[in-house]
């Protein structure tokens, strides 16, 4: 109890400290959504960024040297997801590993008769249950600048990390009710029906692979292009707004993704 109180006091002090000017320039240039926050949201986001930079370890992989720009662009997108939530929900995250591009991870599957097959899978991002998030820097940068449509690998993997707050990455974020779980299942079924009919969907069909991926991919669109998601399925938008305690459609301009 004492440790938790001390940690919260330390976090409040970090968040309340002046935000360095050099950080401000990098954050505004690298995370386009910062310009659309109201004064309270902007203050809260900068405080969250400062705490994330103070508490999480950023490491370069594959010869990459992590810069302040990388830290701020990644932390800024993480902070967007957690604006409506207690920072405790990211306590599971301990380190962020950043690669100079897409990376490969070993995969293994058991076949009939006990035989095993192993392969290398190319990835943009990944969350490890022991508390690490792995990211491709070019993908993270593109998401921050809204250069990849509604996609953001940082938002995607942050959603998985928040999803794991209760110990399982299962597509149920920290605050859902039984009605929420029923509603998100119906939205997944609607999404699959639209796919099967060959009609357009607002986010990648990778969302159909599991409940966890549906939550993560839909959350990317919720934050990055909320108007597009709302037009497709207002029920899904409302469920995500309840889960993340935010209404990004209020702040993100309808032409936000226009070039």
Q: What is the pLDDT of residue 90?
A: 85
Q: Which residue has the higher pLDDT, 222 or 1?
A: 222
d(CA 2, CA 100): 41
DSSP string, the chain: -HHHHHHHHHHHHHHHSPPPHHHHHHHHHH-GGGGG--HHHHHHHHHHHHHHHHHSEEEE-TTPPP-HHHHHHHHHHHHHHHTTS-GGGGTT--EEEEESS-EEEEEEEE-GGG-EEEEEEEESEEEETTTEEEEEHHHHHHHHTT-STT--HHHHHHHHHHHGGGS--SS--SS--HHHHHHHHHHHHHHHHHHHTT---SS-GGGGG-HHHHHHHHHHHHHH-HHHHHHH-HHHHHHHHHHHT--HHHHS-TTTT--
Please tell me the pTM assigned to this model: 0.92
**Other CB atoms within 10 A of residue 174 CB:** 15
Reply yes or no on whether the pLDDT at 258 is more than 50.
no
Q: Which residue has the higher pLDDT, 167 or 82?
A: 82
Q: Which residue has the higher pLDDT, 45 or 6?
A: 45
Q: What is the pLDDT of residue 107?
A: 63
Say what percent of the chain tops pLDDT 70.
Answer: 92
Reply yes or no on whether the pLDDT at 28 is more than 90.
yes
Confidence band, pLDDT 50/70/90 cuts, at residue 256: low
- Residue range 26-49: mean pLDDT, rounded: 97
Q: What is the pLDDT of residue 129?
A: 78
Reply yes or no on whether the pLDDT at 220 is more than 50.
yes
- Residue range 41-55: mean pLDDT, rounded: 96
Q: Which residue has the higher pLDDT, 84 or 130?
A: 84
**Topology of domain 10-251, CATH:** Collagenase (Catalytic Domain) (3.40.390)
pLDDT digits (tens, 9 = 90+) for 92-144: 899 999 999 998 776 666 666 665 667 567 789 999 878 999 999 999 999 99
d(CA 254, CA 131): 35
Q: What is the pLDDT of residue 203?
A: 96
d(CA 177, CA 172): 9
Q: What is the pLDDT of residue 108?
A: 67
- Provide the residue ranges of all domains of the chain, joining segments of one domain with +: 10-251
Reply yes or no on whether the pLDDT at 210 is more than 60.
yes
| Three-state secondary structure of 10-59 | HHHHHHHCCCCHHHHHHHHHHCHHHHHCCHHHHHHHHHHHHHHHHHCEEE
Q: What is the pLDDT of residue 115?
A: 59
- Of the candidates 206, 168, 208, which has an alpha carbon nearest to the alpha carbon of residue 188? 208
- Residue range 63-85: mean pLDDT, rounded: 97
- Residue range 249-254: mean pLDDT, rounded: 93
Q: What is the pLDDT of residue 87?
A: 79
pLDDT digits (tens, 9 = 90+) for 153-187: 999 999 999 999 888 899 999 888 899 999 999 99
Mean of pLDDT over the chain: 91
Q: What is the pLDDT of residue 259?
A: 42
Confidence band, pLDDT 50/70/90 cuts, at residue 58: very high
């Amino acid at each position: 109890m004492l440790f938790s109180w001390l940690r919260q006091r330390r976090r409040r002090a970090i968040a309340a400290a002046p935000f360095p000017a050099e950080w401000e320039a990098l954050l505004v240039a690298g995370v386009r959504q910062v310009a659309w926050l109201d004064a309270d949201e902007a203050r809260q986001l900068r405080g969250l960024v400062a705490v994330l930079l103070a508490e999480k370890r950023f490491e370069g992989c594959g010869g990459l040297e992590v810069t302040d720009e990388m830290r701020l662009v990644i932390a800024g997108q993480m902070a967007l997801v957690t604006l409506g939530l207690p920072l405790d929900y990211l306590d599971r995250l301990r380190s962020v590993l950043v690669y100079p591009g897409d990376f490969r991870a070993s995969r293994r599957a058991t076949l009939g008769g006990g035989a095993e097959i192993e392969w290398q899978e190319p990835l943009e991002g990944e969350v490890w249950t022991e508390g690490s998030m792995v990211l491709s820097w070019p993908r993270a940068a593109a998401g921050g600048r809204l250069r990849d449509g509604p996609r953001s690998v940082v938002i995607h993997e942050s959603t998985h990390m928040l999803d794991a707050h209760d110990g399982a990455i299962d597509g149920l974020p920290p605050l859902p009710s039984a009605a929420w779980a029923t509603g998100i299942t119906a939205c997944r079924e609607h999404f699959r029906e639209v796919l099967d009919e060959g009609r357009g969907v607002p986010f990648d069909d990778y969302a159909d692979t599991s409940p966890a991926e549906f939550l993560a991919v839909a959350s990317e669109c919720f934050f990055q292009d909320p108007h597009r998601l709302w037009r497709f399925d207002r029920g899904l938008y409302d469920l995500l707004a309840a889960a993340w305690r935010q209404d990004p459609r209020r702040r993100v301009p309808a032409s936000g993704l226009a070039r």
